[in-house]
Amino acid sequence: MKIEASVALVTGSNRGLGKACVAILLERGAARVYAAARNATSLAPVVALDPGRVVAIELDVTRPETIERAAAQATDVDLLINNAGTLASFSVLESGFAALHADMHANYFGPLEVARRFVPVLARRPQSAIVNVLSVVSLSSMPGIGGYSASKAAAFSLTQSLRAELAAKDISVHAVFPGPIDTDMIRTFDLPKTHPNDVARAMLDGIAAGEVDIFPDAMSKDVSVVWCRDPRAIEQRFARG
Ligand SMILES: NC(=O)c1ccc[n+]([C@@H]2O[C@H](COP(=O)([O-])OP(=O)(O)OC[C@H]3O[C@@H](n4cnc5c(N)ncnc54)[C@H](OP(=O)(O)O)[C@@H]3O)[C@@H](O)[C@H]2O)c1
């Protein structure tokens, strides 16, 4: 998928990795970027990056009517980046069911609903792609964030199903498995983190190169190598925290 001259839509683009994706898409010559967020007024600094190419759009992945409106407005999208996500639940034994449901809603049902509404849009374009931002914990659960891990594992399974079902429509489907990123989501976690701009650059490199599974930082690359050889070793590493 060529990034230059593409028309992208990025969910959850008012901050964090989503905002970085918009900036790097512009850097790489995207023709237009629909910056989507549940609160459109929060997008002013993102539109200011390039008011001629960035279009603010309201989209809450847990509110189907906003997704439907976005798909009716952004009819020229050829690169859909499902980035929006939450980290609301932690230990599977101790987190409340509302928090467990919230992560499943935003991280699994949300991207599914967005993909369903945008497939007809993408299918009309000569080349198109869906990119799902997953996590290294999609591959193996990290018990301290076990509820979130389950939602990201479900999103990995969703990505595989979409890839198989959309092959006939020539829509490529990419999975991104980042390690820790320096964003609000893990602001209080004391561990090495990658800058969101570097993750966004590696994501777009992977998409442009046609990689289906993208490991966009040093930690995730290391996890992928060990996981391919010995998935149990990653389960044990993550269990140690
Ligand atoms: N940070 C990490 O270490 C890390 C590692 C691996 C994967 N990821 C994944 O990377 C993606 C981006 O996360 P981030 O690190 O940039 O986190 P972040 O700074 O917390 O940003 C999350 C973004 O998702 C949006 N969002 C949350 N719920 C939404 C909803 N219902 N509808 C639409 N947008 C919603 C937020 O919008 P509001 O401002 O309205 O809340 C915000 O724009 C997520 O999928 C996350 O799971 C993050």
Q: Which amino acid, residue 184?
A: D
Q: Determine if ligand 1 sits within 6 Å of the CB of residue 114.
A: no
Give the pLDDT confidence of 12-65 residue by residue, as tens digits. 999 999 999 999 999 999 999 999 999 999 999 999 999 999 999 999 999 999
- How far, in Å, from the CA of 87 to the mean position of ligand 1? 8
Cβ of 12 less than 6 Å from ligand 1? yes
* pLDDT (tens digit per residue) in 199-208: 999 999 999 9
Nearest CA to ligand 1 atom 5: 180
Structure pTM?
0.99
DSSP line for 163-231: HHHHGGGTEEEEEE----BSSGGGTT--S--B-HHHHHHHHHHHHHTT-SEE--SHHHHHHHHHHHH-H
pLDDT band at 241 (very low <50, low <70, confident <90, very high): confident
CA of 109 to the centre of ligand 1 (A): 15
Beta bridge partners of 173: 130
- Cβ of 200 less than 6 Å from ligand 1: no
